[in-house]
Amino acid sequence: LAEMVADHREDEACTLDGISVSLQINAGMNVEHDQQRLGHYEGIGLYRTEIPFMMRERFPTEKEQYDLYRPVLESTGSLPVVMRTLDVGGDKPLPYFPIHEENPFLGWRGIRMTLDHPEIFLVQVRAMLRANIGLDNLQILLPMITTLDEVDESIRLINQAYFEVRNELLQNQPGAVVNRPKIGVMIEVPALLYQLEAVAKKVDFFSVGTNDLTQYLLAVDRNNSRVAGLYDSFHPALLHALQFIVKRCRELNKPVSICGEMAGDPGGALLLVAMGYRSLSMSTHNLDKTRWILRHLDSEIMQTLLSKVMQCTHPDQVRRIVRLKLEALG
């Protein structure tokens, strides 16, 4: 089976009836350079910048961050790299920046913390923009967005960093070009579902974080073993939310991808593509498997499956239907 799965790894992920799905990788530390081993993929769909931050003893300087980001942007050739601004707090503490809260997952996380510390945000964005000079494959992703004000303020700061970096470069190299990267927002706080139109007017793309969207939609701590049985990405409520998002983004003509773990789960990927998602970002070890599954699907199989699944009232029913389909595929 492993050999069958490895077959066609150089081809793009495409269903039997020709629907192509862009697969990307999630990364956070040293990016894999071994493209031969990974086969075909279309960039880094999520680079979690907090991971290198967590492995240090103090905030990295702008130069240190430049040295982290530049090789990542270089590693993919011209393929896009979606770098997420610092997403600490919740379950991702920085040893040198302790945050003590009763409810860390509902607290000072992600964009909430960095907008309260614009100096941290600006240094990070400046490092990203400088690392992107001459490469132009950077895209910036904002985590934990809940309000439109957060979007506006983030864009204002990104623009400020952009003009600073551009003016500095122009002083040394008149005529040099610094492009402004695309900006995207994570859909992981349920409130965003009802603000898609307003946010879409301000940003270039969306990326759905199913890990946190599951946690917040179901009100289940993603790391608490006592309630782990309730944390379920096949919960009908989550599936309806995901279907709503992809439909709405299509109406709004805004690219949307998935970067949570669900994208790399065989059943999850199957359902997401059936719903209409055409861009999935996942851990590298799930790439081969996902590509193989997609190559054995067609629209009819997916539509039949989806209409059955969307009528389910229990996660276990969904799981059973998906498992039978995966077994039938081999």
**Smaller CB distance to ligand PEP: residue 150 or 178?**
150
* Contacting residues toward ligand PEP, per CB under 6 A: 46, 48, 87, 188, 209-212, 259-260
For 40, the token pair is 């075909």
Cβ at position 87, least distance to ligand PEP in Å = 6
How many Cβ atoms sit within 10 Å of the Cβ of residue 70?
Answer: 17
Cβ at position 167, least distance to ligand PEP in Å = 33
48 binds, among Mg ion, ligand PEP, none (CB under 5 to 8 A by kind): ligand PEP
Phi and psi torsions of 183, nearest 5°: -120, 135
Give the contact letters, 224-263, x = binds to Mg ion (CB under 5 A), - = no: ----------------------------------------
Q: Tell me the window of 130-138, 164-172, 187-195, 309-317 that interacts with Mg ion (CB under 5 A).
A: 187-195
Cβ at position 244, least distance to Mg ion in Å = 19
Cβ at position 65, least distance to Mg ion in Å = 21
Residues 24 and 119: beta-carbon distance below 8 Å: no
**Smaller CB distance to Mg ion: residue 133 or 259?**
259
**Smaller CB distance to ligand PEP: residue 27 or 120?**
27
Cβ at position 215, least distance to ligand PEP in Å = 8
Cβ at position 83, least distance to ligand PEP in Å = 13
**Smaller CB distance to ligand PEP: residue 186 or 321?**
186
SS3 per-residue string spanning the chain: CHHHHHCCCCCCEECCCCCEEEEEEEECCCCCCCHHHHCCCCCEEEEECHHHHHCCCCCCCHHHHHHHHHHHHHHCCCCCEEEECCCCECCECECCECCCCCCHHHCCCHHHHHHHCHHHHHHHHHHHHHHCCCCCCEEEEECCCCCHHHHHHHHHHHHHHHHHHHHHHHHHCCCCCCCCCEEEEEECCHHHHHHHHHHHCCCCEEEECHHHHHHHHHCCCCCCHHHHHHCCCCCHHHHHHHHHHHHHHHHHCCCEEECCHHHHCHHHHHHHHHHCCCEEEECHHHHHHHHHHHHCCCHHHHHHHHHHHCCCCCHHHHHHHHHHHHHHHC
**Smaller CB distance to ligand PEP: residue 259 or 305?**
259
Give the contact letters, 264-283, x = binds to Mg ion (CB under 5 A), - = no: --------------------
Phi and psi torsions of 281, nearest 5°: -120, 135
Cβ at position 189, least distance to ligand PEP in Å = 10
**Smaller CB distance to ligand PEP: residue 178 or 273?**
273
The residue number with the shortest CB distance to ligand PEP is 209
Of 60, 209, 267, 268, which one interacts with Mg ion (CB under 5 A)? 209
How many Cβ atoms sit within 10 Å of the Cβ of residue 165?
Answer: 20
**Smaller CB distance to ligand PEP: residue 110 or 315?**
110
Q: With CB under 5 A, what is the number of residues at the site for Mg ion?
A: 3
Of 42, 150, 212, 221, which one interacts with Mg ion (CB under 5 A)? 212
Cβ at position 265, least distance to ligand PEP in Å = 12
For residues 30 and 128, what is the distance between their CA atoms, to the nearest angstrom? 16
In the chain, what is the greatest distance between 2 CA atoms, to the nearest angstrom?
Answer: 63
260 binds, among ligand PEP, Mg ion, none (CB under 5 to 8 A by kind): ligand PEP
**Smaller CB distance to Mg ion: residue 94 or 301?**
94
Q: Which positions touch Mg ion (CB under 5 A)?
A: 188, 209, 212
